Amino acid sequence: MTEVTGLRPRLLAWQVLQAVGGGAYADGALERVLQRAGRSLTSADRALVTELAYGTVRQRGLLHGWLDQLGKVTASRQPPKLRWVLELGAYQLLCCRGIPASAAVNTSVELARAVGLVRLAPVVNGLLRELGRRHQGDEPWAGLALPEDAAASLALRRSLPPWLAASLLQWLPADQAETVAAACNATPRLDLRVNPLRASRASVQEALAAAGVTAMPIDGLEHGLELSGRSGDLRQLPGYVEGHWSVQDRSAQRVVLLLDPQPGELVLDACAAPGGKATQIAECCGDRGEVWAVDRSEARLNRLLRNSQRLGLGALQVVVADAAALAELRPQWLGRFDRILLDAPCSGLGTLARHADARWRMTPGAIDELATLQHRLLLAMAPLLRSGGRLVYATCTLHPLENRQQLERFAAEHPGWQLLQQWQRWPGDGDGFFAAALQAP
């Protein structure tokens, strides 16, 4: 039997959903599925698998809202294999303007048959066709009955957990909460950081342009570039192997600018993996001085080391350790560091567009636990900084408990410390980040 056109990428995306349903992280599940497919998959199909898998996971709340209203059985009570087929089909109908409705429905019916749901294929056909008739308008929720409660409506329309939608409306005016919620579902920008030790921004732009890739400067970032119209393996682009650039979100780049490391200084990146900021620190220092990258994961630090070698950085050194115990593990570091970056473990609420399943994994209880850990780490950094040294506390989250309230608590316990600057960037122009610079007495 001849394979139905377009079925294979949808089958692979369905396999990603199956893995995520079994507890796997979306990015890891996608990587494994694409690796198994190998070179037999075209670049266009790889991009389609990625879009369908990530988009369907990200929009799960909205998709379930539609399935609940259209089906005889709610989404949560449907057999998982069927639910994943319906989710994929619904996502294409609601969110993929480049896919004709007929293709979305027909491939979903064939997908049902391909995964052993032959008897349920008519259910898929009927429900998705009804969705196509009911959905009228540009927005993916157009035609869906929405709750009157503002938080519940925001949660459904923007596919957010109810607790997070309610929190956004507490933190922000309604229009700003809507903007941030929409940004959580947008395709994230692809930013590069040029390594000034090996290339200039202009030379990287020229090399990429010669390869057919457009790279535009990012306002306020001397070494920042935004790529457009590019997908696939970025390591194949000119300059990667030579260490001319790294992939790093613009908001993350600004954190190190706040740290402002200088050549010859002793700098600590306390929770360093995966290492984007540690390598940026070494670049900012002109690769002169000592940059110590600490993390509990040896495997992730090894990847950091390989990346630093690609970038030609000799000042960066790694230590496998719990940052909260550095005063005991490395007493010779007490009062020595000129600058310390604590990019603390956090809920990641500022990076939901980048991590499709993160919104469904995080809970308020987990945030409370993270806040406790963040406070421990902040306390552990204080004795390592020299008098007059700079400590930057940063997170990629939006939650005040992890950000502003952490600083307030630290300030109450350390009255001699001075707050130099702090900022909160909301998702949209880069990831959502919080950063604050403190000076030791």
Query: Which pLDDT belongs to residue 279?
Result: 98
Render pLDDT for 351-386 as a digit per residue (tens, 0 to 9).
999 999 999 999 999 999 999 999 999 999 999 999
Query: Which pLDDT belongs to residue 2?
Result: 42
Query: Which pLDDT belongs to residue 418?
Result: 97
Q: Are 20 and 60 in contact (CB under 8 A)?
A: no
Spell out the domains of the chain, with CATH numbers in brackets: 7-138 (1.10.940.10), 190-247 (3.30.70.1170), 250-439 (3.40.50.150)
> The tokens of 102 are what?
């007929």
Work out the average pLDDT over 321-340. Answer: 97
Render pLDDT for 190-229 as a digit per residue (tens, 0 to 9).
999 999 999 999 999 999 999 999 999 999 999 999 998 7
Residue 54 pLDDT grade (very low, low, confident, very high; cuts 50, 70, 90) = very high
Tell me how far CA of residue 414 lies from CA of 345, 390, 421, in angstroms: 22, 14, 17
Query: Which pLDDT belongs to residue 376?
Result: 98
> Among 184, 271, 346, 396, which one carries the catalytic annotation?
396
Tokens 């507890």 belong to which residue? 23
Computed over every residue of the chain, the mean pLDDT equals 95
Work out the average pLDDT over 386-395. Answer: 98
Q: Is the pLDDT of residue 5 over 90?
A: no
Residue 39 pLDDT grade (very low, low, confident, very high; cuts 50, 70, 90) = confident
Query: Which pLDDT belongs to residue 106?
Result: 96
Asked if omega into 263 is within 30° of 0 (cis), the reply is: no
Active site residue 95: no
